[in-house]
Amino acid sequence: MSTYSTDSRRATGVRSFASVLAIASVIVTACSGAATPAPTPGATATAPAATPANTPVGPLPTASATAAAAPTETLAPSASSASPSSVPPPSASPAESPQPGGDLVFAHAIDIKTLDPVQAVETETIYPLDMLFETLTVTSRDGQNTDPWLAQSWDVSADQLTWTFHLRQDVMFSDGSPMTSADVKFSLDRSRNYQGGFSFLDSAIAAISAPDATTVVIKTKHPWNPLLADLALWANAIYPANFGGKAEADFLQHPIGTGPFTLDHWTKGVETKVVKNPHYWQPGKPYLDSVTWTFVPDDNTRILQLEGQQINIDSFPPFGALDSLKTQAGITVQTFDSNLVSYVLMNERIAEYKDVHVRRAIAYAIDAQAMAQAALHGYGTVACSFMAPTIAYYDPNTPCLKHDMTQAASELGQSAYPNGFDTKMLVGSTDVYQEAVGEILQQQLVPLKINVTLQKVDPGQLYSTLSKYDYELGYEAWASDIPDPDEQISFMTDPVGGGAGSYSTDYSNPTVIDWVHQAEQEFDATKRAALYSKIQAQVAQDAPWAVLHFVPYQYAFSDAVHGFFVYPTGNYHLQDVWLSH
Amino acid sequence: MDRVSYIGIRAIQVVPILLGISVLVFMLIHLIPGDPARTLLGPRAPEAAVQALDQKWGLDQPLLVQFGRFLGGILHGDLGDSLTYQESATALMAERIEPTLWLLVASALLTVLITVPVATLAAARPDRLADHAVRLVPLLGLGMPTFWVAIMLILLLALTTHVFPVGGFGRDFVGHLRSIFLPALTIAIAISPITIRSLRASMLEVLGSDYVVSARAKGLTERRVLVAHVLRNAMIPTVTVLGLNIGWLVGNTLIVEKVFALPGIGALMIDSILSRDFPVVQAIALVFAILVVLVSTTTDLARSLLDPRVRLR
């Protein structure tokens, strides 16, 4: 769960939604409520077939090597990897050829905080790091699977405890030195031993070895289906073993990786600039000479800079400004399917919210449709399952508690608080969407005589308040960082194993927790899907939170930008992006 | 007292001011709820990792111990390290002070450039149309919110002419000049109504004094009377007003810095407060205090230059 806001930036999560396209008047509608395909065990995973170097067809790499010898049991790459050129990036015009050169300038509302992948938490830090470093696997275009990347294929043993990864042999770091299995082992060992960040995702790994220069073997403590997805996480990015002979602190001042770009400079609080990596392994890429992320905290200023052609891409313009931006000549507004879902958390350490009928009453009372119109200006959609449709195993038939005031009154009547009560709601003070949600919720709970007082806190206070359970109701959002539901589901439903007290609600249903652990170790896609459907249904009935909206990622960019595509996990591959001059 | 001694004494006087500000800022920032370790490590970090980081940073120590260490660091010229960027707070401020200094100097210059001719025009023809206009129009600047003025200037001068950038600080000297003009103008529009009225009132007062009558009786041209005799004497209270306003601005540049995306020290302070980066907040507060004292001292020196009768004490 990287952090970023829903309005001008941060929030957390994954989720999807339809996107409107712009460049050549092609309109691409997207997925939303469709059931998601499950990973299919039983085949060897390999990189996709080679594509012409100058074709801007998407994020997938070319493959020069064939798959490894058939293992005892193997996993298939995602469906999307089988035909990478079948889904062109929405903002690319197929008729146009990429033009090399140019500096792509983003404006971000939050500055990058670190150049160390294992320490990166905020999305504004993660996205630039994705350009410097790469991972063994990557999220597929639809956000539901993993594709080969620095590892071109892999096998898994019959007991599902040993994974063997075969590395690409044409990968070099930006200093020209080759990437080997020793680098992979060093990087992954460092990531999983880091205290904090996202190392919890690697907790199933027992040992990593490098039997030869192009093979990496990962042993897990128990069968662990999400491993491929975990390896696609930015924190598991690859850099030179022993930091290339430098001290760790020195290396992290100017790190190198295998990414399409290499660091030019990071002026803290001002800008981060990366330049083309001359040793990048994808022939002819990247097209851009450089990419710059400038730090522009004010929403209006970012918009004005885009209008003034001072920047190329405004990251996360406020939803309220999108309609106006759409009328501007030379500017494209695009929303991308995300896996971002917003919630009202209910702290079960507070007596009122320990009562399931109170929680269900609140879930029924919330008119998420009206809230979406007012708070998201129509750009969000009402959520049902607490998982996003872009996440694998999302169940569109989840029996959720839809807005119904009669049911709400009935549930409250069955609770220990039939006459209502006074409560407080925690919202972030720097996010317009959150504040709007809080204010609308205040009104929507009035008929139940639940009087809500808003408790506005800034980002510096938000996490510590949540982690100490020092709240009653609280706005939060989730965006999965990996193409597997396990990160989100364990975080939100397993108070101990997930490490965060079920998103600081203290929700604990032993049956759900058992299903979560079964699903983590289940390699049969059908059985896994059944488990996740049961989890979604049970959580909907237990209502540890009221599910609000699926929120898209919103970007505004110059018409000169081509090939820009945002994955449901929120990241992007800029080696495929080019600027028309 | 000569000016060198005066500056020396002001430097000594600044010590208790800085100490007081340090105590105040230290206590205030630590009173605000929020944990920098939790903010940095994220919501999924285990409590043990958060506590370990608190321990590493010394945030698990009693406040008095932390304050003692902070003061000890200052005495050794060490303002601490940024918790967010893991870099010396001094180095971080050094990277960010330049745009703020540019902004302060440019806005002071622009204010003077606007104030002197306009106030002179009004004072030279009191109660005529120009005078009424000068007294009324700048008042609009007082009534308009700074952020709104900034956005209007961007819309009217940056987006249409493309002479000035919408935001940022530019990459070279010319870029800095172009980037700083609109932010400085925004501030000058906010301050100049006060300085114009102050200078106009002073000039009218001086115009009625005996030595001006004498100057005119000697046959000096009106222009020479105004520039050589009236303006210099009338500037004295205006310099004080300007100095006070610039001093106030030192701590209030953040709105302008934010709207124009100027990577100055005000913007750094806001970010540091939001991420509970205690050492940087404390260091910036100290620097702001020093800047205010510097502006105040410079104002006193300017008054003594304008009026030899002013004694520095």
Q: Is A196 on the interface with B (CB under 8 A)?
A: yes
Residue in chain A closest to B48 (alpha carbons) equals A195
Q: Kindly state the percentage of chain A with pLDDT values over 70.
A: 83
The DSSP output letter for A102 is: -
**Confidence tier at A95 by pLDDT (50, 70, 90):** low
3 state SS for A19-74: CCCCCCCCCCCCCCCCCCCCCCECCCEECCCCCCCCCCCCCCCCCCCCCCCCCCEC
Mutate to test the interface with B, among A112, A115, A305 (most CBs of B within 10 A): A305
Q: What is the pLDDT of residue A215?
A: 98
Which pair of structure tokens corresponds to residue A105? 């300038």
Of residues A258 and B215, more confidently modeled: A258
How big is the CA angle at B98 (ends B96 and B102), to the nearest 5 degrees? 135
Least confident piece of the model among A2-11, A242-251, A404-413:
A2-11
Q: Which of residues 268-297 of A touch B (CB under 8 A)?
A: 268-270, 294-297
Q: Which amino acid is at A538?
A: Q
CB-CB neighbors (< 8 A) of A125 in chain B: none
At residue A46, the pLDDT reads 45
Q: Which residues of A touch B92 (CB under 8 A)?
A: 268-269
Residue A268: per-residue pLDDT: 87
Q: Give, in degrees to the nearest 5, the angle at Cα A177 between A171 and A179.
A: 40
Is residue A10 pLDDT above 50, yes or no?
A: no
Point out the residue among A1, A196, A460 whose CB comes nearest to the CB of B34: A460
Partner-chain residue, chosen from B154, B167, B271, that has the shortest CB–CB distance to A111: B271
Of B159, B271, B276, the CB nearest to A307: B159
Assess contact for A448 and A412: CB atoms under 8 A.
yes
Q: Is the pLDDT of residue A497 over 70?
A: yes
Say whether pLDDT at A39 is over 50.
no
Q: What is the pLDDT of residues B159-170, one digit of tens each?
A: 888 889 988 888
Cβ–Cβ gap B268/A297 under 8 Å: no
User: Which of B39, B257, B272 to mutate against chain A (most A CBs within 10 Å)?
Assistant: B39
- Per-residue model confidence (pLDDT) at position A392: 94
Q: Which residue has the higher pLDDT, B42 or A292?
A: A292
pLDDT (tens digit, 9 = 90+) per residue, B119-145? 888 888 888 888 888 888 777 777 888
pLDDT of residue A575: 96
- Any chain B CB within 8 A of the CB of A426? no
Q: Enumerate residues 6+ apart whose C-beta is below 8 A from A21.
A: A27, A28, A90, A91, A334
Residue A263: its pLDDT value, please?
Answer: 97
Name the DSSP class of A259. Answer: S
Exposure class string for A356-392: b at 16+ Cβ within 10 A, else e: bbbbbbbbbbbbbeebbeebbbebbbbbbbbbbbbbb
The pLDDT mean for chain B works out to 83
Q: How confident is the model at residue A42 (pLDDT cuts 50, 70, 90)?
A: very low
Closest to A356 in 3D by CA, of A533, A549, A547, A545: A545
Q: Which two tokens stand for residue A544?
A: 């540890």
- pLDDT above 90 (res A98): yes
Do A430 and B274 count as a contact with CB atoms less than 8 A apart?
yes
Closest CB from A301, A458, A504 relative to B167: A301
Q: Which of A499, A485, A482 is nearest to A528 (CA)?
A: A485
Give the whole-angstrom CA distance, residue A277 versus residue A291: 11
